[in-house]
Amino acid sequence: MLNAQQVLINRYQLQTMLSLRAGGRQTWLAIDRHTQEPVTVKLMAFNPQLQWDELKLFEREAQVLKTLDHRRVPHYRDDFSMEDEGLWLGLVQDYVVGRSLQDSLDQGEVMTEAELRKLAGDLLGILIYLHSFDPAVLHRDIKPSNLIRGEDGEIYLVDFGAVQDQVTLTGVPFTVVGTCGYAPQEQFWGHALPASDLYALGATLIHLATGVAPMDLPQRDLRIQFADLVDLSPFFTAWLAKLTEPAIERRFSTAHAALTALKEEQIATPSASRMMRKLQPDRSQIRLIKSAFALKIHFPALQGWRSFKRFPKLDGSKLILLAGIALMVVTASGVTGLLLSLMMVASFVYLCIQQLSEQVDLSFEGDRFQIVRRFLGFPTQSLEGNISQILGVFLLSMEQQQHLMIRTQQSVHDVGGCLTELEALWLVQEIQDWLNFANLS
């Protein structure tokens, strides 16, 4: 059993145990008595319970660290073996004085978008360096506890215990490594790629933005659902969603591509970048909420008095005609005619009130779309279907007002009218771009 103040191989004096893992793995803060500098000493007990894969990972970490030279990765210093109540293997690195981002999360701290963007850029720089090796060096365990904010304010990537030289594994056993919630599926199947580290980076950023571990967030089609829990720009939300795409072919393929997209605020296609730049027309009362996972549009009570334009205009001749018909009804039918006339007027007034009070909610979420009409807040009609059934979105001009129409394989749906030309064009572009982006994602 190792203890504080114990000196290993006449050089490293143990100070504080930093972690203790199953299988006899320990990490200590120690003092290098040759230099009087703090170091990190990782130790593994060689015993009958030790799995061969664990030994390979430990040896691989030492081999890979010897080749790395990046200021944000603690430098390799030494490795050794010793016999002290059994055989121990040791690995020595620089010690980073600071605080892990997991500690910050445990204190209830979350990051702003500006902080997340800065962190993402820094980590992508590290990954570009690691992945530039031939074969690429894969960290395979990026998460908040492995990110240390040093006293200099910089972020350091630590714990390369799951590191791997990217190789093609065909018909041979593989070591399952990674942390649930941060590691993508292909990593647990033994096919880690540079894009696998990008997924872990994205999941880490989502954790730092929401304060909730990825495995505790809801999922839909294996995608992490986080957009409703954060106050992030549409672009950055979509960028994080692309980092954490379950399908590796839809994820950023390289750290360089992800960093370029972040700097230029573009995601793969012109339609996606346009989606982030459109502006709602002035004085429009329509509410639009957009994320990488959902698009929700609320049409208020038919745009106020504009709704009267939905009815045919009543000029003088039409009013005289209606008055004549009402008079004929009253003269011919007495009290019954009067009641019928009152009913006609009441029906007309009710129709006006209904048109003025009707609200429409249009939403696209996951693979479904829904149109809900409401009168005085109560739903009166609801329609939903699969987004794949939508053939197009277009405008129809009626009574000098623009109506938003959705054509599906079964029929054409009038979503909302009384739109100005600018509102109509804005909404059609928003919906078309979101649908295009959702299909690409």
pLDDT (mean) for 154-168? 70
What is the identity of the amino acid at 65? Answer: L
pLDDT (mean) for 271-288? 63
Do 296 and 409 fall within a single domain? yes
- Last residue in a domain, options 94, 125, 160: 94
pLDDT at residue 157, as a whole number: 94
Do 110 and 213 fall within a single domain? yes
Do 17 and 88 fall within a single domain? yes
Do 363 and 382 fall within a single domain? yes
State the pLDDT confidence band at 49, using cuts at 50, 70 and 90.
Answer: low
**Rounded percentage of the chain residues whose pLDDT exceeds 70:** 73
pLDDT at residue 105, as a whole number: 96
Q: What is the token pair recorded at 147? A: 């990110």
Do 318 and 345 fall within a single domain? yes
Do 123 and 251 fall within a single domain? yes
Q: Give CB contacts under 8 A, 24+ apart, made by 250-256.
A: 250/440, 250/441, 251/195, 251/198, 251/199, 252/195, 252/198, 253/194, 253/195, 254/128, 254/131, 254/194, 254/195, 255/124, 255/127, 255/128, 255/131, 255/194, 255/197, 255/198, 256/124, 256/128
Tell me if 175 sits within 8 A of 56, measured CB to CB: yes
Separation of alpha carbons 35 and 221, rounded Å = 53
Judging by DSSP bridges, how do beta strands 378-386 and 390-398 pair with one another? Answer: unpaired
Tell me if 158 sits within 8 A of 143, measured CB to CB: no
- Last residue in a domain, options 54, 74, 94: 94
Number of domains the chain is built from: 4
Do 138 and 87 fall within a single domain? no
pLDDT at residue 176, as a whole number: 45
CATH of the domain at 69: 3.30.200.20
> Number of C-alpha atoms within 13 angstroms, CB side, residue 312?
6
Tell me if 87 sits within 8 A of 46, measured CB to CB: yes
Query: 314 or 158: which carries more pLDDT confidence?
Result: 158
Whether 2 maps to a domain, the answer reads: no
Q: Which of 7, 27, 6, 31 is nearest to 17 (CA)?
A: 27
pLDDT at residue 96, as a whole number: 92
Burial grade of 206 (CB within 10 A; 0-12, 13-18, 19 or more): buried
Query: 316 or 48: which carries more pLDDT confidence?
Result: 48
Structural domain harbouring 368: 287-302+358-440
Can you give the pTM of this predicted structure? Answer: 0.60
Per-residue pLDDT at 46 exceeds 70: yes
pLDDT at residue 89, as a whole number: 87
Do 352 and 363 fall within a single domain? no
pLDDT at residue 168, as a whole number: 37
Separation of alpha carbons 57 and 19, rounded Å = 17
Q: What is the token pair recorded at 263? A: 């700097």
Whether 313 maps to a domain, the answer reads: yes
Residue-wise pLDDT tens digits, 208-235: 999 999 999 998 888 899 988 998 888 8
Least confident residue range of 14-28, 271-285, 311-325, 352-366? 311-325
Residue-wise pLDDT tens digits, 333-385: 566 666 666 666 666 555 555 555 678 899 988 788 999 988 776 787 888 88
pLDDT (mean) for 160-187? 59
Whether 258 maps to a domain, the answer reads: yes
pLDDT (mean) for 273-292? 68
Q: What are phi and psi of 29, to 5 degrees?
A: -85, 130
State the pLDDT confidence band at 13, using cuts at 50, 70 and 90.
Answer: very high
Do 44 and 184 fall within a single domain? no
Using the structure block, give the residue that is written with the tokens 């399908």: 247
Residue-wise pLDDT tens digits, 51-85: 666 777 788 888 888 999 999 999 999 999 888 76
